[in-house]
């Protein structure tokens, strides 16, 4: 379902899930240390297209491995490593993460909208209703819905419920075509 055109405004923001969108998903596991953080090869070419189009790009990531005490490196160390892999002009504005366990019922774990509301609080000029959320799980799509954002699904299989792309690069290429 790739038919809807994209409308971008100067108060649009782009929200990206982390695992499975910008770095390789570790199935049934977490990125617990920097050596397990594997940037997807599509990310940098995608950001070269998307970064100039959006004045604000955020990463929103559930990291329950922190709450479970599984981390070997701190999340800040892992994210500093990630940022060091990106050229300066492609950096996101901010990375938000939820460290809590699902059972803790916090306000920030996706699909709850807490991390989108935090970004709105930090960058009041953004309009969530003009913003996009790219993710590879249904929880990301529900997060988009709960935040009033447009959901973009990353999957190898087409999904009739969402605009679906095989990678963030595929989305970026479609974005500039319309």
Extract the runs of DSSP E, i.e. beta strands, from 2-156. 13-16, 56-62, 94-98, 132-135, 150-154
Name the residue number minimizing CB distance to Mg ion: 20
Instruction: Give CA 108 to chain center in angstroms.
Output: 14
Give the x-and-dash track for 8-47 against Mg ion (CB under 5 A). ---------x-xx---------------------------
Q: At how many degrees (to 10) do helices 138-147 and 114-122 cross?
A: 50
Measured from the CB atom, the residue of 25 and 118 that comes closer to Zn ion is 118
The single residue among 136, 147, 149, 164 that binds Mg ion, judged by CB under 5 A, is 136
Residues in contact with 93: Cβ distance below 8 Å, sequence separation at least 6, in sequence order = 56, 57, 58, 123
Interface with Zn ion, residue 110, by CB under 5 A: no
Q: Catalytic: 80?
A: no
Which segment (4-12, 99-107, 125-133, 159-167) binds Zn ion by CB under 5 A? Answer: 99-107
Q: Would you call 25 helix, strand, or coil by DSSP?
A: coil
| Distance set, CA 139 to CA 113, 136, 151 (Å) | 11, 8, 11
At its nearest, how many Å lie between Zn ion and the CB of residue 112?
8
Q: Catalytic: 19?
A: yes
- Among residues 17, 80, 122, 140, which one is catalytic? 17
Residues annotated as catalytic are 17, 19
């Amino acid at each position: 379902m790739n038919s809807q055109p994209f409308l971008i405004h100067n108060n649009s923001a782009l929200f990206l899930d982390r695992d499975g969108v910008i770095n390789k998903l570790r199935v049934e596991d977490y990125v617990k240390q920097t050596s397990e953080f594997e940037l997807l090869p599509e990310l940098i070419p995608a950001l070269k297209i998307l970064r100039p189009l959006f004045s604000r790009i955020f990463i929103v990531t559930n990291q329950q491995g922190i709450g479970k005490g599984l981390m070997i490196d701190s999340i800040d160390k892992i994210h500093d490593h990630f940022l060091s892999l990106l050229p300066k002009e492609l950096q996101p504005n901010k990375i938000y993460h939820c460290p809590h366990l699902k059972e803790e019922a916090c306000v920030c774990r996706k699909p709850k909208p807490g991390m989108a509301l935090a970004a709105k609080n930090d960058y009041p000029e953004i309009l969530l209703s003009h913003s996009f959320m790219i993710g590879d799980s249904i929880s990301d799509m529900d997060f988009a819905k709960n935040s009033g954002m447009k959901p973009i699904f990353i999957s190898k299989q087409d999904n009739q419920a969402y605009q679906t792309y095989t990678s963030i690069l595929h989305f970026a290429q479609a974005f500039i075509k319309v």
